[in-house]
Amino acid sequence: MFGRVLKSLVTFRRDRRGNVAMLWGLMGAGLIGLIGLTVDFTRAQTIRTQLQNAADGAALAAARAPANVSLADRTELARAFFDAEAGEYAQGVTFSLSPAADLAYRVNVSTTMEGSLTQLISDQDWEIGVESEAVRGGVNLEVALVLDSTGSMAGSKLTALKSAATSLVDTIVQDVQTPYYSKLALVSYSVGVNAGSYAAQARGDIPAGRSISAASWSVGPQRTVTGATRANPVVVTANGHGFTNGQVVYLSGIRGMTQINNRYFRVASATTNTFALQDASTGANINGSSYSNWQSGGTQRAQRCQRNACEVVVTANSHGFSNGANVFITGVGGMNINNATGSGTGTTWTLSNVDSNTFTLVSSLGPSYSAYSNGGTAYCTTYGCEYYRFTNASGTTNVFRVSTCVSERTGAQAYTDASPATAFVGLNYPSTATNGACPTNTVLPLTTNRSTINARINGLSASGFTGGQIGAAWGWYMVSPNFSSLWTGSSAPAAYGAPETLKVVVLMTDGAFNVNYCNGVIAQNAGGGNNVDQINCNATNGDPLQQALSLCTAMKQRGIVVYTVGFDMASESQASRNMMRDCATSTSHAYMADNAADLMVAFQQIAQSISQLRISH
């Protein structure tokens, strides 16, 4: 078409007739203006397209910024993005950013373009304006952030993690929670996950200890000893003693004949004022022919024992213990029959002579203790009790106390998110050693309170081995509707398949998963721990990496998006690195960060992806 117009113009120019020249004068300017209009319109469209693309990016940048960024700083950020994208067209534009409804930000851009040949028609500049609005994706967000707080994270690595995690939280959790909410839960792990106040519901109640109301070893009044013969058997004089044959007495304060002092004997040949001594165990006569001479003076006495070996008899009404059971005793006043109060002592009392309200402490020597004054509690020591007595991998006995930490769930529901009312998660009997102790950081269920989340992150401390499979499980539980018996109210996760709802787990670690459990204690084949702290059985659920992968597979099947972040894992095994890759929803959801800067970028990219930003118009 342009060629035909040009040919006509040449013909007009060559035609010398007056009427043609006049027509050319009338029509030339208009035809040239029309051509210029076409050219300038194309230019305007090119500029507008460039400005629109830049404005779209600027709006996204504004909406992507953390919620606590001011409008002025957000505008500066958006303008910088716009200038970079618009290039030469950014010169002289009018740029503005304003908040819009529903977590959106609107960018308005306008500029002028000077006409070229169109000035033959009009000398006015062209006005070009574009508008873009970015909003967060139309979904409710439920995100579980699972962080490694093991001993290898101590120092600068934990500092870097806190900064990166806080950045993610600030991007995801918004001040305005309508029309869509954005909630985040926090799980940190080392040898296990500390369920805190939720532990009892998650792993089941622990049987209460039995209150002790009395403890004694002797009965009846003390009798004063006034003599003892060097004979076979030794005959003791204690006027009006009241002992009968077969009873056991304890002699103390004996002078001269010290061979019978602080010992217990069976009474034989008893008369009103005397009795002979026999061995309490064998019944053999005590031959005192070679003993020293008895001496008078001092406080010499005989006391009748309640049990054959002068063992302590404890009263704890309706205690429920049985003969041969081992109990852990603590809190007794006066008579120090307490076992050590910490884990790892290996000390308990074996019981005998058990009836409904009393029991005897085997091998206790009552006269060696002060008198009972008050209090005390006796605990069972089998698996599921407050204290657990077990044989460790070195073949000796340990007694560990249950904690609010939890270990793997076993059995048919090991790799599901079945309600804890259906299947409890595993108990955790941790060592008191630094690398085996229960971490102090407790779980935080879904919340919209960004300050609370960040305060928890900043309070993280590092210790212990790596039970990452337990962290992965609890990441799932935090967003699972099947755990709503634990996470109630505003922390309750939405149902699976709820409209416009996205569930996400972000799992981070800096090393190999090296802790797994048997009966709530670190297993003897675990990679972390030592023979003293490990139980003498292999892990019930097997390899922790495979456990984690099974959990990730199961949660992905429920529609949960899984991101993984490996931090400084270049020296870790290929199996560990593969697990982090395979655990993620896809390879694009798996990140490997070699240093603090990489970690920050990884968390920021994950946060941006989760936020599901989109252009609305």
Greatest extent of the chain over all pairs of C-alpha atoms, in Å: 167
Contact 217, 367 (CB under 8 A): yes
Helix residue spans in 120-229 (DSSP H): 156-172, 199-203
The Cα–Cα gap between 41 and 299 comes to: 122
Check if the beta carbon of residue 337 is closer than 8 Å to that of residue 248.
no
Q: Going by C-beta distance under 8 Å and a sequence separation of 6 or more, which residues neighbour residue 488?
A: none
Rounded Cα distance, 62 and 587, in Å: 28
Look up residue 497 and give its DSSP letter: T
Minimal CA–CA distance to 260: which of 231, 283, 240, 282?
Answer: 231
What is the pTM for the complete model shown?
A: 0.79
The helix/strand/coil state of 271 is: coil
Do residues 308 and 256 touch, judged by C-beta distance below 8 A? no
Q: What distances in angstroms separate CA 287 from CA 226, 278, 280, 284, 308, one per listed residue?
A: 19, 9, 14, 9, 20
- Enter the tokens of residue 526: 């675990």
Angle between helices 544-557 and 574-583 (to 10 degrees): 10
Question: What does each C-alpha distance from 253 to 110, 133, 531 come to in angstroms?
Answer: 107, 96, 46
- Residue 612: the pLDDT is 63
Separation CA 46–CA 52 (nearest Å): 10
With contact defined as beta carbons under 8 Å apart, do 168 and 145 qualify?
Answer: yes
Give the C-alpha separation, 25 to 32, whole Å: 12
User: Tokens standing for 374?
Assistant: 């008050």
Mean pLDDT (10-residue bins), the chain, 617 residues: 43 50 50 56 82 89 77 92 90 91 82 66 74 79 97 97 97 90 97 97 96 97 97 98 98 98 98 98 97 96 96 98 97 92 75 97 95 97 96 94 97 98 96 88 97 97 96 98 96 95 97 96 92 94 98 97 96 95 95 97 93 61
Q: Is the distance from CB of 211 to CB of 376 less than 8 angstroms?
A: yes
Q: Closest Cα partner for 464 from 435, 498, 433?
A: 435
Nearest partner of 368 among 343, 331, 336, 322, judged by Cα: 336
The pLDDT assigned to 12 comes to 45
Cβ neighbors of 324 (< 8 A, separation 6 or more) are 350, 351, 352
Per-residue tokens: 150: 């093991």
Alpha-carbon span 263 to 310, nearest angstrom: 9
List the one residue out of 601, 555, 462 whose CA is nearest residue 144. 555
Strand 561-567 relative to strand 590-593, pairing: parallel
Helix (H) / strand (E) containing 218? strand 218-224
How far is residue 522's CA from residue 529's CA, in Å, rounded to a whole number? 7
Burial class (CB in 10 A: 0-12, 13-18, 19+), 483: buried
- What integer pLDDT is reported at residue 611 of this predicted model? 79
Q: Which residues contact 43 (CB under 8 A, 6 or more apart)?
A: 113, 116
Whether the CB-CB separation of 577 and 592 falls below 8 Å is answered with yes
For 278, residues 6+ apart whose C-beta sits below 8 A from its C-beta are: 233, 265, 266, 267, 268, 284, 285, 286
Confidence (pLDDT) at 435? 84
186 contacts 149 by C-beta, under 8 angstroms: no
Measured torsion, CA atoms of residues 330, 335, 340, 342, in degrees rounded to the nearest 10: 40
Q: Is the separation of the CB atoms in 383 and 519 below 8 Å? A: yes
Rounded distance, CA 362 to CA 527, Å? 38
Which pLDDT belongs to residue 38? 63
Give the list of residues 6+ apart from residue 207 with CB closer than 8 angstroms, or none. Answer: 379, 380, 384, 385, 386
